[in-house]
Amino acid sequence: MNISVKDRQILRDLASYQMELAHSPRNQQLYQEWTAHGNAQTITRPLIRIEIGTFEHQLLPAMQRCEGEEARAIERAMLRPIVNFSQFKDDTLVPDYCGVGPSTRFVPFGLPVKRQETGSLGHHFIPYLHDLEEDEHLLGPSQYAIDLEGTARHEAQMQDLFGDILPVRRISNAFYCTPMQDIVHIMNMDDLYIAMMDDEERFQNMLNRLADDYLAFFKLQEQEGLIHSHARMQHLCQGTYCFTDELQDGIPGAKLSDCWLFMDSQETSGVSPAMYRDLVFPAYAKVMSHFGLVSYGCCEASHPIWDDCLSKVPNLRKVSISPWCDEAFMGERLRGTNVTYLRKPPATLLGMDTPELDEDAVLDCFRKTAQAARGCKLEIAQRDVYMVGGSAEKVRRYVELARKGLEG
């Protein structure tokens, strides 16, 4: 790595500070609370996390001291949990290690995504497919690889940088598999929906091929002994952690059945629950069956597909309750179960480019959630916030109001 002596010392000082926070009484208490929350049989206080990644550009640059590009990237990654913990004061944990995950590559059907930027956050995917009957020949085998040398090199670099201060550890985060998103990246949604109506067999063949390719990629990692089981603070996607008492943590050479899987299908929000059940869910259920536990959903509403699909996944342990979801319906269905009510509040409550909050609206939202999710295992994951008026204090106040609202 091209890191100057000055930047190296800044990163080593930051590693020391991270270790100090990791061993602080508050962080230790939070770790115990997350561990208890991961017990399938217990209900704890609602735990709250704010995903900083989408709005960090408004806060982190002013906090950074490194000058080199590589050093600033490492510094930024280290600052994320520190800012959550020390400034937002949510329930984000500060790890007492530097996690290094495997470097992998997966290209669905061998078709690299072509993306056209439209300014700011907007973008458009340039499709390969329009009509499956005419374009099916473009679907090649998915390409995937594991960069063992790159992973080892990254681990050695982190060890050399600050391993004597902040231990460097091989980890595996939860597996990630979103086949419908991959398909929309290569096929316009309107063409996709027409194919689902007019060419069911080719659509299902395409989806099943992709599901099988994902499984082959995951099993390759299993066969190579590259998986570390994850049941503590590893990343599970959607703003949550892997904490559970149903799986063992940190076992090298683990099996898929020792691990979490995340899946979603936002792209089928516009199809009927029956079409999702018949055309999409079988391929998803096939992938889910190979894993220990499953977390499902992003921005799509989970309530239309709960009774006929998601409720039949025996290893489902977390389900997204997005702003488009019927909160009361899902609270009724999840009450008394071991499936976490993973609430995603509307991004507009926090994500406006002003330093002020509509405090009454924030309180009302979380009081409604508290009522709907009574008797459920509840988490809050605030996601998709792209601006906060450049104010960390605004985020801290939001967390404070959320806790107040959840108290009833």
Q: Is the dihedral of CA 54, 57, 58, 62 positive or negative?
A: positive
Measured torsion, CA atoms of residues 365, 371, 377, 378, in degrees rounded to the nearest 10: 10
Residue 119, pLDDT score: 74
Q: How does pLDDT run across 161-186, given as a tens digit for each residue?
A: 999 999 999 999 999 999 999 999 99
Residue 148 Cα to chain centre, angstroms: 24
Rounded to whole angstroms, the Cα distance separating 388 from 59 reads 9
AA identity, residue 193: Y
Q: What pLDDT score does 1 carry?
A: 82
The span from the first CA to the last CA of the chain, in angstroms, equals: 51
Indicate the angle between helix axes 327-334 and 359-372, nearest 10 degrees: 40
* Amino acid 123: pLDDT: 87
Domain ranges of the chain: 5-406
Rg (CA), the chain: 22
Please write the tens of the pLDDT for every residue from 71-102. Answer: 999 999 999 999 999 999 999 999 999 999 99
Give the residues of the chain that fall short of pLDDT 70: none
> In whole angstroms, what is the distance from residue 311 CA to residue 294 CA?
12
Helix axes 5-22, 148-162, angle to 10 degrees: 90
In this prediction, residue 346 carries a pLDDT of: 97
Cα distances (Å, whole numbers) of residue 88 to 30, 213, 255, 353, 391: 14, 40, 36, 17, 10
Contacting residues for 191 by C-beta, under 8 A, at least 6 apart: 127, 129, 130, 131
Q: What is the C-alpha separation between 212 and 352, in angstroms, rounded? A: 41
Torsion of CA 193, 299, 301, 259, to 10 degrees: 100
Q: For position 217, what pLDDT does the model report?
A: 98
pLDDT for the residue 362: 98
Tokens 């994850």 locate to: 230
Whole-model pTM: value is: 0.96
Relative orientation angle of helices 359-372 and 392-406, to the nearest 10 degrees: 40
Q: Specify the pLDDT at position 389.
A: 95
Q: What is the 3-class SS of the chain, one letter each residue? A: CCCCHHHHHHHHHHHHHHHHHHCCHHHHHHHHHHHHHCCCCCCCCCEEEECCCCCHHHCHHHHCCCCCHHHHHHHHHHHHHHHHHHHHCCCCCCCCCEEECCEEEEEHHHCCCCEEECCCCCEEECCCECCHHHHHHHCCCCEEEEEHHHHHHHHHHHHHHHCCCCCEEECCCCEEECHHHHHHCCECHHHHHHHHHHCHHHHHHHHHHHHHHHHHHHHHHHHCCCCECCCCCCECCCCCECCCCCCCCCCECCCHHHCEEEECCHHHCCCCHHHHHHHHHHHHHHHHCCCCEEEECCCCCCHHHCCCCHHHCCCEEEEEECCCCCHHHHHHHHCCCCCEEEECCCHHHCCCCCCCCCHHHHHHHHHHHHHHCCCCCEEEEECCCCCCCCCHHHHHHHHHHHHHHHCC
CATH level 3 topology of 5-406: TIM Barrel (3.20.20)
